[in-house]
A and B are shown apart, each in its own frame.
Chain A
Amino acid sequence: MEDQINTNESIQGSTFPSYPQNPYGIDNRLINQLSSRMKIITILFIASIVLSALSTVLSLTNLPKMDYSYGKSMESFYTITMIVGFLLGLAITLALVIFLLKSTKAFDLFNQTGDIRNLNDGFYHQNRFFNLTKAIIIVVFGIAAILLVVTLISSFSGKY
């Protein structure tokens, strides 16, 4: 017991921020680490949005320079696809960022207050993040499977 108190004191005195111990014995440092990792991911997601926006704008401004053998209709098709793709990506990434932010906020609240409801709340938003990731995986795998089937059918029918 004495050792535990000493450890807590040394933790509070060193680089770790001082958190009130929760009555459940849950390691606050672990929750803090989890929260900080999720914060880094949030920042990276935001950076990814900015970079995607930049590359979309650059691609759209460079479009007239491209030489399309299919004519103007192909150019507008590319423009629309790029804009829709960017907006879709933006919406999904923003949703992921919101879930991550809510989750980290709840985890930080748990570290401050020691209230288990905040931990449950953090897990709830983390679960939403995982659910959305799962949905993205299903859609991506589905599209890949459809493309694979179409390619296989085309190659077997001797079209290409």
Chain B
Amino acid sequence: MEEIENNQALNPQNNEQDLPLDGNLLDQIARNMSFIGIASIIGSVLIVLFLVYFLSVGSKYNFERISSTTIYTTVFAFILIIAVLLFISGLFLRKGKYAFEQFFRTSSLLDFHNGINIQITFFSIYIALIGLNLLYQIIQLFI
């Protein structure tokens, strides 16, 4: 029993007072992450719906008259990648929200680290998204 008490004293993970993080702030971050996550998922679904609509409308017209079909295929693939990335980032943001909520319940440092890890993954996907946007801007400059 004494050994367990000693372990708990050494281990600050289960003691909320040892981790004086602003709970209100983290709660707001979790809510914001959830909102942005849902919006990203809705946005990605809307983008895919728009692509499907555009393809169905576009089939009525002869694209080859306007431009090469390969350009359209590339643009569609590009937009599809963005939609998929948005969807994945949305899922990760929702996951991050749950990790922080778990941290509020348990005050476990493991859950806090999990939340930070998910944030890191989200920011990595965000980098890819902005990178794609930059690539698009660069291509536009040359066209």
Contacts and interface: CB of A to CB of B under 8 A. Distances in A.
B76 to A, nearest CB: 20
B36 interface: yes
Interface string A20-53: 0001111100110110011011001101100110
A76 to B, nearest CB: 23
A133 B36 contact: yes
Nearest to A124: B25
Contacts of B134: 44, 47-48, 51
A54 to B, nearest CB: 6
B33 interface: yes
A40 B116 contact: no
Interface in B25-74: 25-26, 28-29, 32-33, 35-36, 39, 42-43, 46
A37 B22 contact: no
A116 B21 contact: yes
A130 interface: yes
B20 A116 contact: yes
A48 B133 contact: yes
B123 interface: yes
B18 interface: yes
* Binding site secondary structure of chain B: helix
Contacts of B117: 30
Contact of A51 (B11, B13, B29, B138): B138
A134 interface: yes
B33 A130 contact: yes
Nearest to A52: B137
A38 B13 CA distance: 26
Contacts of B75: none
Contact of A134 (B19, B35, B42, B133): B35
B127 interface: yes
A45 B120 contact: no
A47 B138 CA distance: 10
Nearest to A47: B134
Interface of B: 11-13, 18-22, 25-26, 28-29, 32-33, 35-36, 39, 42-43, 46, 109, 112-113, 116-117, 119-120, 123-124, 126-127, 130-131, 133-134, 137-138, 140-141
